[in-house]
Chain A
Amino acid sequence: MTLLDGLVIAQVAEGFDKFINTLTSGISLGAIYAILALGFVIIFKATQVVNFAHGAIAAFGAYMVVYFATVLNIPGRFLDFLPITAQWILSALLAVAITAVLGIVIERVAIRPMIGKALFAVAIITLGLDLIIRTVTNDLMGNQSRGLGDPWGIRIIEFSGIRIAATEIVTVIVAVLAVLLLAWFFRTKTGVAMRATAFDQEAAMAQGINVGRVFAIAWAIGAALAAIGGIFASIFPRSPGGVSPVTAFIAFTAFPAVVIGGLDSIVGAIVGGLFVGIVQIMSGTYLAGVSFLGTGFSAVVPWLLMMAVLLVKPYGIFGTEEIRRV
Chain B
Amino acid sequence: MRGRPLLYTSYSDEMRLFPTTAKRVAVILLLIVLILLPLKALPGFGFLGDSAWLILIDRALIFAVAALGLNLLTGVAGQVSLGHAFFMAVGAYTAVLLGGEPGNTVWGLELPMWIWLPAAGLVAALIGILVAPTAVRVRGLYLAFVTLGLVFIGLYMWTNLGKIAGGPTTGRPWPPLELALWRGQEPLISFATDGPWFGVELVREAKAYFFLLGVVIVFALLAKNLMRTRIGRSWASIRDRDIAAEVMGVAEARGKTQAFAISSFFAGVAGALLASFIGRRIPTSWDLFLSVVFIAIILIGGAGTVSGTFLGTIFVVLIPRVVEDFTLSLSELAAGDGVLSSMANLIVATGPEDFGLVSTTAAGPGLSIFQLNVALFGVLIIVFLIFEPLGLYGIWIRVRNYWKAWPFSY
Residues of A within 8 A of B (CB): 50, 110, 113-114, 117, 119-125, 127-132, 135-136, 138-139, 252, 255-256, 259, 263, 293-297, 299-300, 303-304, 306-307, 310-311, 314-316, 322, 324-326
Whether A306 contacts B382 by the Cβ 8 Å rule is no
Residues of B within 8 A of A (CB): 80, 134, 137-142, 144-146, 148-149, 152-153, 156, 159-160, 168, 241, 243-244, 247, 288-289, 292, 295-296, 299, 366-368, 371, 374-375, 377-382, 385-386, 389
Q: Which of B160, B296, B299, B382 contacts A295 (CB 8 A)?
A: B160
Whether B137 contacts A121 by the Cβ 8 Å rule is no
CA distance in complex: A302, B374 (Å):
28
Name A117's closest neighbour in chain B (CB-CB).
Answer: B389
Whether B156 contacts A299 by the Cβ 8 Å rule is yes
- Top 10 nearest A-B pairs by Cβ distance? A294-B160, A128-B381, A131-B378, A132-B378, A128-B378, A303-B149, A300-B156, A135-B375, A128-B382, A314-B138
Q: Which of A114, A136, A138 contacts B385 (CB 8 A)?
A: A114
Q: State the Cβ distance, B264 to closest chain A Cβ, in Å.
A: 17
30 of the cross-chain contacts (CB-CB < 8 Å) are A110-B382, A113-B386, A119-B141, A121-B385, A121-B389, A123-B80, A123-B141, A124-B385, A125-B382, A128-B380, A129-B378, A131-B377, A136-B367, A136-B375, A252-B152, A259-B145, A263-B141, A294-B156, A294-B159, A295-B159, A296-B160, A303-B153, A304-B153, A307-B134, A307-B146, A310-B138, A311-B137, A314-B138, A322-B140, A326-B247
- In the complex, which residues of chain A have a beta carbon less than 8 angstroms from the beta carbon of B382? 110, 125, 128-129, 132
- In the complex, which residues of chain B have a beta carbon less than 8 angstroms from the beta carbon of A294? 156, 159-160
Q: State the Cβ distance, A275 to closest chain B Cβ, in Å.
A: 16
CA distance in complex: A304, B159 (Å):
17
Q: Which of A127, A307, A325 contacts B149 (CB 8 A)?
A: A307
Name A308's closest neighbour in chain B (CB-CB).
Answer: B134
CA distance in complex: A324, B241 (Å):
10
Name A319's closest neighbour in chain B (CB-CB).
Answer: B142
Whether A139 contacts B367 by the Cβ 8 Å rule is yes
- In the complex, which residues of chain B have a beta carbon less than 8 angstroms from the beta carbon of A123? 80, 141, 144
Name A48's closest neighbour in chain B (CB-CB).
Answer: B141
- In the complex, which residues of chain B have a beta carbon less than 8 angstroms from the beta carbon of A136? 367, 375
Whether A263 contacts B142 by the Cβ 8 Å rule is yes
Whether B156 contacts A138 by the Cβ 8 Å rule is no
CA distance in complex: A299, B160 (Å):
13
CA distance in complex: A293, B148 (Å):
21
CA distance in complex: A304, B374 (Å):
30
CA distance in complex: A310, B149 (Å):
12
- In the complex, which residues of chain A have a beta carbon less than 8 angstroms from the beta carbon of B378? 127-132, 135
Whether B156 contacts A131 by the Cβ 8 Å rule is no
Main secondary structure of the interface of B (DSSP, over half): helix
Name B383's closest neighbour in chain A (CB-CB).
Answer: A128
Q: State the Cβ distance, B327 to closest chain A Cβ, in Å.
A: 15
Between A119, A129, A131, A306, the greatest number of chain B beta carbons within 10 A of the residue's beta carbon is seen for A131
CA distance in complex: A35, B152 (Å):
22
CA distance in complex: A167, B156 (Å):
30
Q: State the Cβ distance, A195 to closest chain B Cβ, in Å.
A: 21
Q: Which of A110, A306, A324 contacts B386 (CB 8 A)?
A: A110
- In the complex, which residues of chain A have a beta carbon less than 8 angstroms from the beta carbon of B377? 128, 131
Whether B153 contacts A50 by the Cβ 8 Å rule is no
Whether A139 contacts B385 by the Cβ 8 Å rule is no
Task: Give me 12 other A-B pairs in contact (C-beta within 8 A), A50-B141, A307-B146, A307-B149 excluded.
Answer: A114-B386, A128-B380, A131-B377, A131-B378, A139-B368, A252-B288, A295-B168, A303-B152, A304-B153, A310-B146, A324-B243, A325-B243
Whether B142 contacts A310 by the Cβ 8 Å rule is yes
- In the complex, which residues of chain B have a beta carbon less than 8 angstroms from the beta carbon of A117? 389
Whether B148 contacts A255 by the Cβ 8 Å rule is yes
Between B288, B379, B386, the greatest number of chain A beta carbons within 10 A of the residue's beta carbon is seen for B386
Q: State the Cβ distance, A262 to closest chain B Cβ, in Å.
A: 10
Between B148, B168, B288, B381, the greatest number of chain A beta carbons within 10 A of the residue's beta carbon is seen for B381
CA distance in complex: A13, B389 (Å):
62
With A311-B134, A314-B142 known as contacts, the answer to whether A127 contacts B247 (CB < 8 A) is no
Name B145's closest neighbour in chain A (CB-CB).
Answer: A259
Name A130's closest neighbour in chain B (CB-CB).
Answer: B378
Whether B381 contacts A120 by the Cβ 8 Å rule is no
CA distance in complex: A138, B378 (Å):
15
CA distance in complex: A113, B382 (Å):
11
Q: State the Cβ distance, B15 to closest chain A Cβ, in Å.
A: 28
- In the complex, which residues of chain B have a beta carbon less than 8 angstroms from the beta carbon of A293? 160
Whether B385 contacts A125 by the Cβ 8 Å rule is yes
Whether A131 contacts B140 by the Cβ 8 Å rule is no
CA distance in complex: A135, B159 (Å):
25
CA distance in complex: A124, B384 (Å):
11
- In the complex, which residues of chain A have a beta carbon less than 8 angstroms from the beta carbon of B156? 294, 296-297, 299-300
CA distance in complex: A256, B153 (Å):
12
CA distance in complex: A3, B368 (Å):
66
CA distance in complex: A218, B214 (Å):
51
- In the complex, which residues of chain A have a beta carbon less than 8 angstroms from the beta carbon of B148? 252, 255
- In the complex, which residues of chain A have a beta carbon less than 8 angstroms from the beta carbon of B144? 50, 120, 123
CA distance in complex: A310, B150 (Å):
13
CA distance in complex: A297, B161 (Å):
12
Between A113, A132, A255, A295, the greatest number of chain B beta carbons within 10 A of the residue's beta carbon is seen for A132
Q: State the Cβ distance, A157 to closest chain B Cβ, in Å.
A: 34
Whether A131 contacts B375 by the Cβ 8 Å rule is yes
- In the complex, which residues of chain A have a beta carbon less than 8 angstroms from the beta carbon of B389? 117, 121
Q: Which of A125, A297, A306, A310 contacts B381 (CB 8 A)?
A: A125
- In the complex, which residues of chain B have a beta carbon less than 8 angstroms from the beta carbon of A119? 140-141
CA distance in complex: A151, B98 (Å):
56
Whether B152 contacts A300 by the Cβ 8 Å rule is yes
- In the complex, which residues of chain B have a beta carbon less than 8 angstroms from the beta carbon of A127? 292, 295, 378, 381
Q: State the Cβ distance, B289 to closest chain A Cβ, in Å.
A: 8
Whether B371 contacts A125 by the Cβ 8 Å rule is no
CA distance in complex: A139, B356 (Å):
13
CA distance in complex: A256, B375 (Å):
26
CA distance in complex: A123, B377 (Å):
15
- In the complex, which residues of chain B have a beta carbon less than 8 angstroms from the beta carbon of A131? 289, 292, 374-375, 377-378, 381
Whether A306 contacts B149 by the Cβ 8 Å rule is yes
CA distance in complex: A114, B296 (Å):
17
Whether A135 contacts B367 by the Cβ 8 Å rule is yes
Name A49's closest neighbour in chain B (CB-CB).
Answer: B141
CA distance in complex: A135, B368 (Å):
10
Name A118's closest neighbour in chain B (CB-CB).
Answer: B389
- In the complex, which residues of chain A have a beta carbon less than 8 angstroms from the beta carbon of B371? 135, 138-139
Name A262's closest neighbour in chain B (CB-CB).
Answer: B142
Name B162's closest neighbour in chain A (CB-CB).
Answer: A294
- In the complex, which residues of chain A have a beta carbon less than 8 angstroms from the beta carbon of B142? 259, 263, 310, 314-316
